[in-house]
A and B are shown apart, each in its own frame.
Chain A
């Protein structure tokens, strides 16, 4: 303990009117706390004093220099060897002099909602709410004061977490900078006691989840290797008028990337003789070969639809025209039967192909479990025909922005719990009646987009089955795709825009809390 410390101490003791006998009895730690206390409660006064000293110093040492244009070259000796920062928000006793030529370069981040709460007493333990890195922290300590009748609360070691205690408002504020479990000490006075008591409190700062994701490339050596992302644009060349094109993108989810596991989703697009074929599939996370299941399903649907359309296209187109002209049950039934022979049969054959692959591999069919959303479409003089088939979760719909039209092409197969669904590979799905019930036929004058999505997209964008049928949600999705999002991702749905596929792939990287599944989307626009 040096002389200047003792001097400062007796000065403070004097100001605080501490009796000499009590002074002798105080431990160094207690003295420190009282000094600490004194310094922070008289902050403004002390800062004013320091500013005066600083100005005096400048006048004395560098009278020729204009103090507001340049800092002196050397650090000035601060009074009593305590270094100080000549700025009002300085914490006087600890912060070294910081020289700044220009304001700090702070990137502008969107302001996050602070974590709020209060210091609480539970089972005789003091509890501070958990904080999170980079998220403002605002915790009230007044309730505990009133509840327990303690006074002069302050904290040691909050600075190391990036927080501070504001005495006037009795709040802990700041933005934590590092994750971990920290021990902070709360100092306070019990009623009618002069001495300070202290209690240790564990303060947990959670990491920012975004900083923890660490993508690992899928090893190429695994069975059924699949690229971690995929995209495709199918341009339909126009002769007289602009024709709709197709774009699709598929991206491995962060939860898979974190563990170097492959993408389970897949898609396929095809255009031929006026017919558009679109398929997306989501391999089950718990099935070991589902990535192959989804791939075979997509490929086989396209192959089988092409084959069958080649045989029955004219008959089918006549039946569709009849649906438009007659609008009768009989006409609907006739067209439905042909759709069954095309898309229903394609789904059936896709399962057969997966079964064959499973047998070759010596694995079970359920190891290849996958969902399936498929649509075949064609433009007629009277409008667009869309035929579809859907098993599992995700979503598929015809959306028209101008007319507020939305047709969801089936029902998602959800369960009571997250992630529960049905798969193409379940035996009951390929029963003829079940297959037929999952087919849909629609004729619409025109539309903005026909969209097929796996649950990696519908879970974050629609959340519930009810929302999937709400036009506002589709408007929001379309706005989002067009650039109304935090990531600056934008898809240009203009005719023949080949860039739409890479744009879509980039858009799929959006951030949504807790939603990090594979994402696949296919759009006809």
Chain B
């Protein structure tokens, strides 16, 4: 992704954070981490409580390539380091929700395939892939999750609607994750956002 989509993501994230701040439960419990990836993954926001979050600048990718596999490996590593697991002496965090915004390509196909089992083992409450752009490759995303949405257009308003939906998903997940009864409910995506079957 380049240009307008990246700008739109930044605006979308800011809108999302501002909206989350209006939810008292989210304000006290939600933590955010942001990782960008192109040739290399980079954590531009370490896991930070919503109260302290300031959405960082997202740089235009300098290097080519979409190393989705490497990004996922990095995410799993960060989850291992930053998400607290519960034991007798420590209260566990809620299960993390993973949102991936990409065009679906994995330039490092082999690593991507290798890393899939580790992603499954990382106990994400939900993995939601948002495919952006018009040259989509949903095959990889389908290996990750069945919750795939597709944004046809990459304009600001559509992104805002998408992030509004993500916001609701975060608030909802935050309350009712946890039980091992089943997957936490995910609200239906807005009409502008197409679910990939």
A interface, CB within 8 angstroms of B: 122-123, 125, 127, 129-130, 132, 179, 181, 202, 204, 206-207, 209-210, 212-213, 254-255, 258, 284-287, 366, 369, 414-423, 459, 463-466, 513-514, 516
Pick the contact of B177: A127, A255, A286, A466 (CB < 8 A). A286
The CA of A466 and the CA of B92, in the complex, are separated in Å by: 13
For B89, list chain A residues within 8 Å (CB): 464, 466
B60 to chain A, nearest CB (A): 14
Q: Are B178 and A420 in contact (CB under 8 A)?
A: yes
Known: A127-B54, A209-B28, A416-B85. 10 other contacts (CB 8 A): A212-B22, A212-B23, A254-B24, A285-B175, A286-B176, A418-B86, A418-B94, A419-B179, A423-B179, A464-B90
- Report the 3 A-B pairs with minimum CB-CB distance, sorted nearest first: A419-B178, A212-B24, A286-B176
Q: Categorize the interface residue count of chain B.
A: 35 or more
Question: Total A-B residue pairs with C-beta atoms closer than 8 Å?
Answer: 116
Q: Are B181 and A366 in contact (CB under 8 A)?
A: yes
B148 to chain A, nearest CB (A): 22
Residue of B with least CB distance to A414: B86
Task: Give the residues from 116 to 143 in chain B that come closer than 8 angstroms, CB to CB, to chain A.
Answer: 123
For B176, list chain A residues within 8 Å (CB): 285-286
Q: Are B123 and A123 in contact (CB under 8 A)?
A: no
- B190 contacts the other chain (Cβ, under 8 Å)? no
Pick the contact of A181: B18, B90, B95 (CB < 8 A). B18
Residue of B with least CB distance to A420: B178
For B57, list chain A residues within 8 Å (CB): 123, 125
For B2, list chain A residues within 8 Å (CB): none
| Interface mask (B88-119 → A, CB under 8 Å = 1, otherwise 0) | 11111111000000000000000000000000
Q: Are B180 and A420 in contact (CB under 8 A)?
A: yes
For B3, list chain A residues within 8 Å (CB): none
Q: Are B92 and A465 in contact (CB under 8 A)?
A: no
For A423, list chain B residues within 8 Å (CB): 179, 181
Q: Are B51 and A130 in contact (CB under 8 A)?
A: yes
For A513, list chain B residues within 8 Å (CB): 28
Q: Are A255 and B21 in contact (CB under 8 A)?
A: no
| Interface mask (B165-186 → A, CB under 8 Å = 1, otherwise 0) | 0000000000111111110110
The CA of A485 and the CA of B39, in the complex, are separated in Å by: 54
Q: Are B95 and A417 in contact (CB under 8 A)?
A: yes
Residue of A with least CB distance to B88: A466
B51 to chain A, nearest CB (A): 5
For A422, list chain B residues within 8 Å (CB): 180
B interface, CB within 8 angstroms of A: 18, 21-25, 27-29, 51-54, 56-57, 85-95, 123, 175-182, 184-185
Q: Are A465 and B88 in contact (CB under 8 A)?
A: yes
Residue of B with least CB distance to A122: B56
Q: Are B93 and A417 in contact (CB under 8 A)?
A: yes
Residue of B with least CB distance to A179: B21
The CA of A254 and the CA of B123, in the complex, are separated in Å by: 27
A118 to chain B, nearest CB (A): 14
For B95, list chain A residues within 8 Å (CB): 417-418
Q: Are A417 and B179 in contact (CB under 8 A)?
A: no
**Can you name 28 A-B pairs with beta carbons within 8 Å?**
A123-B56, A130-B53, A207-B27, A209-B24, A209-B27, A212-B22, A254-B25, A255-B25, A366-B182, A369-B179, A416-B92, A417-B86, A417-B95, A417-B123, A417-B177, A418-B91, A418-B92, A418-B94, A419-B94, A419-B177, A419-B179, A420-B180, A421-B179, A463-B91, A466-B88, A466-B89, A513-B28, A514-B28
For A206, list chain B residues within 8 Å (CB): 21, 27, 51
The CA of A366 and the CA of B93, in the complex, are separated in Å by: 24
The CA of A371 and the CA of B92, in the complex, are separated in Å by: 19
Q: Are B179 and A285 in contact (CB under 8 A)?
A: yes
For A418, list chain B residues within 8 Å (CB): 86, 91-95, 177-178
Q: Are A213 and B179 in contact (CB under 8 A)?
A: no
Q: Are A284 and B181 in contact (CB under 8 A)?
A: yes
For B178, list chain A residues within 8 Å (CB): 285-286, 415, 417-421
B27 to chain A, nearest CB (A): 5
B196 to chain A, nearest CB (A): 25
Residue of A with least CB distance to B183: A286
Residue of B with least CB distance to A285: B176
For A210, list chain B residues within 8 Å (CB): 24
B94 to chain A, nearest CB (A): 5
Q: Are B25 and A286 in contact (CB under 8 A)?
A: no
The CA of A255 and the CA of B56, in the complex, are separated in Å by: 30
Known contacts A130-B52, A181-B18, A286-B176: A415-B25 contact under CB 8 Å: no
For A123, list chain B residues within 8 Å (CB): 56-57
The CA of A129 and the CA of B49, in the complex, are separated in Å by: 12
For A366, list chain B residues within 8 Å (CB): 181-182
For B23, list chain A residues within 8 Å (CB): 212
Q: Are B86 and A415 in contact (CB under 8 A)?
A: yes
The CA of A123 and the CA of B94, in the complex, are separated in Å by: 31
For B93, list chain A residues within 8 Å (CB): 417-418
The CA of A474 and the CA of B52, in the complex, are separated in Å by: 34
For B179, list chain A residues within 8 Å (CB): 284-287, 369, 419-421, 423
